A and B are shown apart, each in its own frame.
Chain A
């Protein structure tokens, strides 16, 4: 499917109607989704109403909103009026349908976007795969024998398969960046607190972020701008004015870019290292640096996630243990037993890692690292082998993203095609690169992504 910016332009020029765009989108979904299992619900009636409203505006000669007629879908942890918010879990299937849209879904609608459905995810967003015990496996559009990654697997795969130009997801420890990396699409995890989470099903309140996926950087920027703004209903949402990045994204001259070594190099296999090398070369970056607290920041995120996730679900775990998937229930219960002293120490470590990162941003404007340690694993693959070291797939896919979300930095994940691997199939797969900015500098991350896209290094075909 075309990019969001192209669709907006076609509708504004009158060369295509929103209804025609929606019809093409529905055809693509009906043809491609059965193989991939991205959707858990389709909202075509609503989409037809929203598309008709855009076409009516055009017919009346009125100004069109910035995402006029752009189809999109959301991870099924976002409230959508009239749908049950599943968050990938059977325990939620009997809940009442949402009475209203999540805040950022409402903002996307206000910007003229057309909602076509809800997307599959890892149960309760706990894990980096989308091998959902209740709602099935979401497969990778680049190779159906492989997984889409997670937890926002449906969101990444739907864009990667060309069904949609934009989707929304969430990222607690890498759940936007990992599936974006594995499915070969763009993803934006904004600064912690930048986008409101009200009307989304929580997992770890002190780490949860929401953000967009897209098949182009301009698509990410359009969606990001549409969703910005304070929201008193989310206590973590920063009360900052909207800072639009716009579509004229250009990287300022003299930008200082550091390549993250140490932990980020050790846990990147040859394909991931090649992706970083390609991106660094295209951005003119050659200086290596290190975030020494990366490993301990990852550990801190792990502890905080376990404790908050376990505490959140304790009442349901007591009442409905058998209704949770076998891959998540014992982990959630164990997390709920974590002593307070561990959590407090993890929060102190988090603050320390943040301070170290801020010192790095005195020397650099942007940092680069791989977004995943390797290409997409095969469905059911239990371990990853990274530079001779074995790590469980479910946790290991987030080894490079977790230290960054732990300290809330904004990251644009861009799809790079390293052409490395043991087989032709592996050499055809992407490994994403994280473009990491200082807090509130999403515009810079997106500008760097746009530079890579224009240079042909990053693309979401």
Chain B
């Protein structure tokens, strides 16, 4: 059984607020990127732009459009995976064996 403590959070500990003052340099760059705010109507595109920036990628708009298209295919496939009913306790396959 997972508990609040077993997941690593200390009871009462302050969580990050995502306030501008708390942001690291790279995170602030994402927030300052105008294309991010302009793509807020398309959450998938906004996610891709943010994730690309956080992972250290820089691409031109044509490449980003291609990556958004590829990611949208993955998202459609992922929906199949999420819609499949699974018992709460089902085990993820990769078991680490030291």
Interface residues, chain A, with chain B CB atoms under 8 Å away: 206, 235, 293, 295-296, 299-300, 302-303, 306, 314, 317-318, 321, 330-331, 333-338, 342, 344-352, 354
Contact = CB atoms under 8 A, between A and B. Distances in A.
Nearest to A293: B84
A346 B97 CA distance: 20
A308 B54 CA distance: 18
27 contacts: A235-B97, A296-B84, A299-B77, A302-B77, A303-B78, A306-B74, A330-B63, A330-B70, A333-B57, A333-B67, A334-B67, A334-B73, A335-B74, A337-B52, A337-B55, A337-B67, A337-B71, A342-B78, A342-B82, A347-B92, A347-B94, A348-B86, A348-B90, A349-B86, A350-B93, A351-B90, A351-B91
Contacts of A345: 78, 81-82, 86
A91 B58 CA distance: 19
Chain A interface mostly: helix
A303 to B, nearest CB: 6
Interface residues of B, number: 29
A309 to B, nearest CB: 11
A448 B66 CA distance: 45
A330 B73 CA distance: 12
Contacts of A352: 84, 86, 90
A354 B92 CA distance: 11
A314 B93 contact: no
Contact of B74 (A302, A318, A347, A351): A302
Contacts of A354: 93
A330 B90 contact: no
B6 interface: no
Nearest to B70: A334
Contacts, number: 84
B11 interface: no
A318 B71 CA distance: 17
- Chain A to chain B: the 6 pairs with minimum beta-carbon distance, closest first: A334-B70, A347-B92, A299-B80, A334-B71, A337-B51, A330-B66
Highest count of chain B CB atoms <10 Å: which of A333, A335, A346:
A333
B43 interface: no
Given A300-B81, A303-B77, 7 more contacts: A303-B78, A321-B63, A335-B74, A337-B51, A345-B81, A348-B86, A351-B92
B46 interface: no
B36 interface: no
A300 B93 CA distance: 11
Nearest to B58: A318
A338 B52 CA distance: 11
B30 interface: no
Given A306-B74, A342-B78, A318 B56 contact: yes
Nearest to B69: A330
Nearest to B90: A348
A354 B94 CA distance: 13
A314 B56 CA distance: 9
B77 to A, nearest CB: 5
A241 B36 CA distance: 55
A376 to B, nearest CB: 24
Contacts of A335: 70, 74
A350 B82 CA distance: 12
Contacts of B82: 342, 345
A345 B83 CA distance: 10
A157 to B, nearest CB: 28
A318 B57 CA distance: 6
Nearest to B96: A235
Q: Which of B59, B74, B90, B92 has the most CB of A within 10 A?
A: B74
